[in-house]
């Protein structure tokens, strides 16, 4: 008789699996991003794409062309939450490209920060008139608090 039950893998068992060596929990989420390849503080190329998944240690993302392994990259990711229910946020992450597979690229993060994006005057006037601003999806608190992990 065949069982359809699944059993969780304990952390010790997971470390024995050759295919999965990541220690950070990954969050599958698609967010728009802008990327810049950087060498010696100069932008070599730039473009757009979207995230595939992210963790406190790295980001896996898609672009419109393959990116070279070994170069530094800066990602500006449109974050799906508002600061004080008013100001759009973006996650700016810096790191090195560690893997590239066609149009998908993996980056190991060395630094990250949340930045606010300008607020348009319509949104400010709606908030001032007492209309509640729209609520956006907040991603798991585990990732939002990733700066506390480092």
Q: Does this model's pTM top 0.75? A: no
CA distances from 36 to 22, 43, 71 (A): 25, 6, 10
> For position 14, what pLDDT does the model report?
45
Name the nearest CA neighbour of 127 among 82, 92, 86, 93: 86
Left (φ > 0), alpha (ψ -120 to 50) or beta: where does 40 sit? left
> Mind giving me the DSSP string for 11-27?
HHHHHT-TT----SPPE
Q: What is the pLDDT of residues 95-137, one digit of tens each?
A: 999 999 999 999 999 999 999 987 665 555 454 444 444 333 3
pLDDT, tens digit (0-9, with 9 covering 90-100), for 2-55 = 444 444 444 444 444 455 555 789 999 999 999 999 999 999 999 999 999 999
The tokens for 149 are 């992990």
pLDDT in tens, 46-96: 999 999 999 999 999 999 999 999 999 999 999 999 999 999 999 999 999
**Domain chopping of the chain, boundaries:** 21-148
What fold, for 21-148? Thrombin, subunit H (2.40.10)
- Coarse DSSP helix, strand, coil percentages of the chain, rounded to the nearest 5 percent: 15, 45, 40
């Amino acid at each position: 008789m065949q069982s359809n039950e699944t059993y969780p893998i304990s952390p010790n068992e997971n470390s024995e699996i050759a295919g999965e060596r990541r220690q950070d929990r990954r969050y599958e989420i698609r967010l728009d991003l802008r990327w810049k390849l950087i060498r010696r503080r100069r932008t070599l190329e730039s473009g757009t794409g979207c995230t595939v998944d992210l963790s406190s240690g790295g980001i896996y993302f898609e672009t419109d062309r393959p990116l070279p392994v070994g170069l530094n990259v800066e990602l500006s990711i449109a974050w799906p939450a508002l600061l004080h229910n008013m100001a759009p946020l973006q996650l700016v992450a810096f790191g090195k490209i560690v893997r590239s597979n066609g149009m998908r690229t993996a980056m190991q993060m060395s630094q990250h920060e949340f930045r606010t994006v300008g607020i348009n005057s319509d949104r400010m006037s709606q908030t001032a008139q007492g209309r509640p601003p729209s609520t956006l999806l907040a991603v798991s608190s585990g990732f939002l608090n990733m700066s506390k992990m480092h």
